[in-house]
C-alpha cells in the first residue's frame, strides 16, 4: 500500500507519513478527526489534517507539558487541563501523589471517544477516579472558576478555530484568576522556528499578568520544526530554581531532573523571542 498522510505545516512545508491503515475518520461539530496507523510513528491522531499526537513521540510532549510545572509547585492538588482530550497530559498528572483531582476540559467529545478507542496507551487514565472529564469550552470554564486550581495546563490545538481565544491576554487574565494564590500555568506555544510573531506576543501578555513568565523547549519530531515551545506563567514559584536533586522518581522517558534544568536553556535565536521589548 502506498498511501501517505500529508500535513501542510507551514504554507511552504509539509510532513508526510506512510499510512498502513486509516482507522477512523469523522467530521465532528468542531473539526475533521482522523486516526491513522502510520509506518513511522504508529497510531496517530489528526484534527483538520494537523498531527496532534502519535504513539511514538507523544511522551515527549505530555511529560514536558506537565512535570516541569508540577515539580515547580511544592504541593499541586487540583490541576486543570484545557484541551488535551487524548488524555496524555492527565496520564502524566496523576503520577504525582499530591494530585487529588485532575479536571480535563475538552471542547470536542469525539476526541475523547476516539482516543479511548484507538489510543489506549495515551487515554488510559481518563477513567481514573481522580480524573474529572468535562466536555465544554475551556475559555468559559476558566471564566467561571476563581481561586480554584494549583496548576492549569493549556494543551490546545494551534491558534485557529475554537483554540484562538486560548492564546489571548483576556484568557490569560482568566487563567490568573482561576489559579490559587501560588498557582502556575503552562501552555503549549508552538514552534520557535515558524511562530516568531506569536511567541513574543504570548510572552509579553503573560509577563503583563503574572509576576514570572518563562519559556522552555522540547523536541517533538512530528510538530513543525521539531523543536517545540512551552510558556509558563507563575504567581510565586520559579521552575528554574527547583532543587532538582530532590525531585520524585516519575517513570518518564523524556523528562528527568537534568532535562528540567536544561529545558530552560534557550539557544540565542529563541532567547531573542522572549527578551523584554
Ligand atoms: N498536543 C496537541 C498539539 O499541540 O497538537 C494538542 C492535542 S489536544 C488533542 C488539543 C485539543 O484541544 C483538541 O482535542 C481540541 O478539540 C481542544 N480544544 C481546542 N479549543 C478548545 C477550547 N476552546 N476548549 C477546550 N478544548 C479545546
Grouped pLDDT means (10 residues each) for the chain, 277 residues: 92 97 98 98 98 98 98 98 98 98 98 98 98 98 98 95 95 98 98 97 98 98 98 98 94 97 98 87
> Interface pTM (ipTM) of the complex?
0.98
245 C-alpha vs ligand 1 centroid, how far in Å? 34
**What was the pLDDT predicted at 173?**
98
Q: Domain locations in the chain?
A: 3-54, 58-274
**What was the pLDDT predicted at 2?**
86
**What was the pLDDT predicted at 277?**
61
Q: CA-to-CA distance for 125 and 130, rounded, in angstroms?
A: 9
244 C-alpha vs ligand 1 centroid, how far in Å? 30
- How buried is 200 (Cβ within 10 angstroms: 0-12 exposed, 13-18 middle, 19+ buried)? middle
CATH of domain 3-54: 2.30.140.10
Q: Which of 57, 108, 150, 155 is catalytic?
A: 155
Q: Is 234 in the pocket of ligand 1 (CB under 6 A)?
A: no
**What was the pLDDT predicted at 143?**
98
Class in CATH terms, 58-274 = alpha beta
- How buried is 169 (Cβ within 10 angstroms: 0-12 exposed, 13-18 middle, 19+ buried)? middle
Give yes or no: 155 in active site.
yes
Amino acid at each position: 500500500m502506498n498511501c501517505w498522510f500529508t500535513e501542510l505545516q507551514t504554507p511552504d512545508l509539509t510532513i508526510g507519513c506512510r499510512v498502513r491503515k486509516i482507522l477512523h475518520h469523522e467530521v465532528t461539530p468542531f473539526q475533521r478527526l482522523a486516526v491513522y496507523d502510520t509506518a513511522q510513528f504508529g497510531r496517530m491522531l489528526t484534527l483538520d489534517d494537523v498531527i496532534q499526537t502519535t504513539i511514538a513521540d507523544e511522551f515527549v510532549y505530555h511529560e514536558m507539558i506537565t512535570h516541569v510545572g508540577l515539580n515547580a509547585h511544592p504541593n499541586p492538588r487540583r490541576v486543570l487541563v484545557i484541551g488535551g482530550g487524548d488524555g496524555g497530559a492527565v496520564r502524566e498528572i496523576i503520577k504525582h501523589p499530591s494530585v487529588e483531582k485532575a479536571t480535563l476540559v475538552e471542547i470536542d467529545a469525539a476526541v475523547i471517544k476516539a482516543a479511548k478507542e484507538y489510543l489506549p496507551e495515551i487515554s488510559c487514565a481518563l477513567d481514573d477516579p481522580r480524573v474529572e472529564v468535562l466536555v465544554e469550552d475551556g475559555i468559559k470554564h476558566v471564566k467561571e472558576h476563581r481561586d480554584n486550581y494549583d496548576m492549569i495546563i493549556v494543551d490546545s490545538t494551534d491558534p485557529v478555530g475554537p483554540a484562538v481565544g486560548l492564546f489571548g491576554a483576556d484568557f490569560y487574565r482568566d487563567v490568573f484568576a482561576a489559579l490559587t494564590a501560588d498557582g502556575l500555568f503552562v501552555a503549549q506555544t508552538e514552534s520557535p522556528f515558524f511562530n516568531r510573531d506569536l511567541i513574543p506576543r504570548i510572552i509579553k501578555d503573560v509577563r503583563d499578568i503574572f509576576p514570572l513568565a518563562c519559556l522552555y523547549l522540547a523536541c517533538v519530531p512530528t510538530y513543525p520544526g521539531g523543536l517545540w515551545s512551552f510558556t509558563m506563567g507563575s504567581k510565586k514559584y520559579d521552575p528554574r530554581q527547583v532543587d532538582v536533586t530532590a525531585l520524585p522518581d516519575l517513570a518518564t522517558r523524556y523528562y528527568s531532573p537534568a532535562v528540567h534544568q536544561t529545558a530552560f536553556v534557550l539557544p540565542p535565536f529563541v532567547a531573542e523571542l522572549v527578551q523584554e521589548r
